[in-house]
């Protein structure tokens, strides 16, 4: 099962501008968030990238991805009908093959030489099934993520067979259905923002959208929960870090993470220490007055 295509969703009302924001990447070069995400997919072996956008944004997105335009196909979500619908808009683009999926308002930073997407693609190709990256997450963050219930796969570190998926569960729901032995107390495995999706996921999304009165109620989590009842679906607990750039200080935090894991790490640490020292000195001077 080769994964040669990637899908990036960027059409949601609160999401549309975020992939166009500029950061300094780990090589010390200014790049848009979208370019950083695209480059991660290329390292994972992807050859063609579909980006789900609002049609009004096409010219802005073309300008940002001009260095990769030969690999890009823009996919339109003309109305804000939700995340599940946005993914389903790419069904024709997938050509009935597996696809690497990332969201346009999240950045991930691998703590290992191998990138997050690269690792997930390798697992998906080895196991020939849908695979989601997950991370142990405090229950205080449950309102922001899809969360899985699962059983560990014997002999394969960090790999789980998914049995249940709930979108943004309450702590009570999580405690009743999503506890995984071995995780810290009040921690659950939440989505990391990267998936390798097989064609079955698109079939389920299509079915759910067809019967649903409100398309916005159809989520990827709901489709993946249904998938877990029908065929093998795995999750990999990734040791990297994920950053929601749409959250408060999210873009700032992502920038610091990239810098501290890049070529300018020592320079950035020095600058941070200087700022902290200035702050402490200012506080000391005020207390002396």
CATH number at residue 76: 3.90.550.10
Q: At what angle do helices 116-127 and 33-43 cross, to 10 degrees?
A: 40
Cα distance between residue 24 and residue 170, in whole Å: 36
pLDDT of residue 203: 97
Domain assignment of residue 263, yes or no:
no
**pTM exceeds 0.85:** yes
Structural contact between residues 20 and 34, judged by C-beta atoms closer than 8 angstroms: yes
Mapped onto helix, strand or coil, the DSSP state of residue 288 is helix
pLDDT of residue 102: 97
Domain assignment of residue 131, yes or no:
yes
Q: For the chain, how big is the Rg over CA atoms in Å?
A: 20
Full residue range of the structural domain in which residue 62 is found: 5-246
Strands annotated E in 66-182: 72-76, 99-103, 106-109, 130-138, 146-152, 159-167
**CA atoms 232, 94, 10, 69: torsion sign:** positive
pLDDT of residue 284: 56
Q: Domain total for the chain? A: 1
pLDDT of residue 10: 95
At which residue do the structure tokens 């997407």 appear? 117
Structural contact between residues 116 and 238, judged by C-beta atoms closer than 8 angstroms: yes
The closest of 21, 172, 192 to 120, measured between CA atoms, is 192
pLDDT of residue 173: 94
Domain assignment of residue 273, yes or no:
no
pLDDT of residue 90: 97
Domain assignment of residue 99, yes or no:
yes
pLDDT of residue 244: 92
The DSSP secondary structure of 13-82, one letter per residue, reads TTTTTGGG-EEE-TTS-EEEHHHHHHHHHHHTT--EEEEEE-GGGHHHHHHHTGGGGGGEEEEE--S---
pLDDT of residue 283: 56
Domain assignment of residue 65, yes or no:
yes
The closest of 124, 119, 82 to 99, measured between CA atoms, is 124
Mapped onto helix, strand or coil, the DSSP state of residue 263 is coil
Domain assignment of residue 257, yes or no:
no
H/E element holding 256?
helix 250-260
Read off the DSSP letter of residue 182. T
Structural contact between residues 7 and 93, judged by C-beta atoms closer than 8 angstroms: yes
Domain assignment of residue 285, yes or no:
no
One pLDDT digit (tens) per residue for the chain, 289 residues: 789 999 999 999 889 999 999 999 999 999 999 999 999 999 999 999 999 999 999 999 999 999 999 999 999 999 999 999 999 999 999 999 999 999 999 999 887 778 889 999 999 999 999 999 999 999 999 999 999 999 999 999 999 999 999 999 999 999 999 999 889 999 999 999 999 999 999 999 999 999 999 999 999 999 999 999 999 999 999 888 889 999 999 999 999 999 998 899 998 899 888 888 887 666 555 655 5
pLDDT of residue 278: 83
pLDDT of residue 101: 98
């Amino acid at each position: 099962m080769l994964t040669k295509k990637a899908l990036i969703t960027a059409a949601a009302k609160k999401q549309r501008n975020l992939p166009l924001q500029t950061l300094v990447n780990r090589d010390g070069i200014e790049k848009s968030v979208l370019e950083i995400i695209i480059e991660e997919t290329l390292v994972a072996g992807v050859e063609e990238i579909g980006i789900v956008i609002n049609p009004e944004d096409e010219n802005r997105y073309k300008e940002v991805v001009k260095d990769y335009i030969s690999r890009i196909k823009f996919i339109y979500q003309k109305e804000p009908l939700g995340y599940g619908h946005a993914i389903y808009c790419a069904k024709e683009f997938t050509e009935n093959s597996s696809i690497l999926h990332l969201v346009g308002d999240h950045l991930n930073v691998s703590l290992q030489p191998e990138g997050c997407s690269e690792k997930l693609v390798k697992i998906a190709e080895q196991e020939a099934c849908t695979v989601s990256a997950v991370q142990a997450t405090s229950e205080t963050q449950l309102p922001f993520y899809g969360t899985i219930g699962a059983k560990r796969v014997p002999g394969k570190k960090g790999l789980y067979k998914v049995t249940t998926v709930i979108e943004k569960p309450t702590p009570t729901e999580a405690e009743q259905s999503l506890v995984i032995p071995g995780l810290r107390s009040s921690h659950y495995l939440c989505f990391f923002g990267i998936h390798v999706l097989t064609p079955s996921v698109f079939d389920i999304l299509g079915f759910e959208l067809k019967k649903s009165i409100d398309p916005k109620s159809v989520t990827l989590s709901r489709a993946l929960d249904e998938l877990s009842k029908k065929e093998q679906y795995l999750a990999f607990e990734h040791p990297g870090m994920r950053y929601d750039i749409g959250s408060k200080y999210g873009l700032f935090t992502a920038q610091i993470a990239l810098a501290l894991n890049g070529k300018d790490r020592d320079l950035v640490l020095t600058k941070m220490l200087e700022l902290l020292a200035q702050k402490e000195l200012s506080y000391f001077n005020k207390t002396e007055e």
